[in-house]
């Protein structure tokens, strides 16, 4: 995953403010909270971009997280999250890049996650068609 965003802009952004319940004994955001934020921004992107019929018919599950912790924030500070789909879908899966930066633009956490799409009724893998992928590939 690259820290450069100029060649392929981030598709979806969301801010996260560190609340008291996010803070660990070291005084900064707990690693488990970063994982929740990684999942939240990905799901939020799906809900913001996918048409209603796709959101009703499919759900996503994480099959892999690869996370680099490079910095942290303390209570009251903000992490600016960004995400985008990385590469092309492969069957029922595609990869997603996520990064969080502080107010100065320093990368705090970066992740490459693999998601699998499931049919919401059968809970079986469903192929990510070009139609489903299209809203996430726009501008790439």
Query: In this structure, is residue 32 part of a structural domain?
Result: yes
Q: Where residue 10 falls among pLDDT bands split at 50, 70, 90?
A: confident
Mean of the pLDDT values across residues 9-24?
A: 94
- The CATH number of residue 95's host domain is 3.10.129.10
**pLDDT tens digits, one per residue of 34-92:** 999 999 999 999 999 999 999 999 999 999 999 999 999 999 999 999 999 998 999 99
Q: Is 5 part of a structural domain of the chain? A: no
Mean pLDDT, the chain, whole residue set: 92
Answer whether 133's CB lies under 8 Å from 85's CB. yes
Q: How many domains does the chain have?
A: 1
Q: Calculate the CA dihedral of residues 34, 47, 123, 90 and round it to 10 degrees.
A: -80
| Residue 101 within any structural domain of the chain | yes
Domain membership of residue 130 (yes or no) is: yes
Answer whether residue 2 is part of any domain. Answer: no
In a domain, 11, yes or no: no
- Please give the residue range of the domain that contains residue 85: 20-137
Residue 63 lies in a domain: yes
* Residue 60 maps to a domain: yes
């Amino acid at each position: 995953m690259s820290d450069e965003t100029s060649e392929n802009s981030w598709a979806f952004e969301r801010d996260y403010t560190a609340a008291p319940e996010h803070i660990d004994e070291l005084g900064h955001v707990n690693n488990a909270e970063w994982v929740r934020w990684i999942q939240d921004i990905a799901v939020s992107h799906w809900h913001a971009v996918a048409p209603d019929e796709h959101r009703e018919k499919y759900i996503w599950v994480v099959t892999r997280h690869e996370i680099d912790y490079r910095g942290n924030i303390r209570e009251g500070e903000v992490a600016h999250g960004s995400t985008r789909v990385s590469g092309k879908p492969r069957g029922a899966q595609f990869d997603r890049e996520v990064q969080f930066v502080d107010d100065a633009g320093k990368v705090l956490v970066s992740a490459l996650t693999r998601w699998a799409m499931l049919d919401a009724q059968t809970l079986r893998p469903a192929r990510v068609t070009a139609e489903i992928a299209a809203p996430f590939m726009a501008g790439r």
